[in-house]
Amino acid sequence: MNRRIASLMVASIVLAGCMGVPSTPVIAPPPLTELTLKNAMYHSPDWGDFQLVEGVYLRPPLAPGESAEIYKTEFRDPAVFGDLNADGIDDAIVFLSTQNGGTGHFVELAAVLNRDGRAENVSTVSLGDRVGIEAARIEAGVIILDMRVHGPNDPMCCASQLEIWRFRLEGGALVRQT
């Protein structure tokens, strides 16, 4: 009888070893939200590093008497979510509209990675003055933008030429695909 119990114990140990040690579940970070993105830090060629507050950044006027409204960057709804860096976690692209003292409304594309639930703007590129974003999506890490850009005879106010632009995050920078 002792031999039988010993055999059962050995068999149990061997069987347990074959089943492996239960792995620790991977906990995904909290998803990025538009609220998070509207209050994140960004980098722009115009301003350098800046903080959006409720979707707006107002740069201090450059001269006395100037309105703060002429130097601002605004978050443009909606953000688009998808995996940009192939880590299985949804990141985001954000569109920012910047006025820097003139009549232009410069649109920028910002790639934002989800770093443990924090928004990290890793790259920002200019899309142009007063371009229109008709649709945007992320497919297999590629950002696809259906845009209205200026045709050869368009006035600055009214971009009319439809184009599809593609970008990919490569080495931490947004790179336009041909």
In-domain check, residue 65: yes
Q: How far apart are CA 114 and CA 137, in angstroms?
A: 17
Residue 9 lies in a domain: no
Alpha helices in the chain (DSSP H): 2-19, 34-37
| 161: Cα within 13 Å, side-chain hemisphere | 10
pLDDT at 102: 74
Q: Has residue 15 been placed in a domain?
A: no
User: How many domains does one find in the chain?
Assistant: 1
State both tokens at 71: 């130097």
- What percent of the chain shows pLDDT beyond 70? 85
Average pLDDT, stretch 2-6? 57
pTM greater than 0.85: no
| More confident call, 106 vs 4 | 106
Residue 47 lies in a domain: yes
Pair 145, 58: CB distance under 8 Å = no
Residues 114-127 have pLDDT tens digits of 999 999 999 999 99
Output 82 or 104, whichever has higher pLDDT. Answer: 82
How many angstroms separate the Cα of 156 from the Cα of each of 67, 105, 108, 142, 151? 23, 10, 17, 29, 10
- Domain enclosing residue 30, as ranges: 25-177
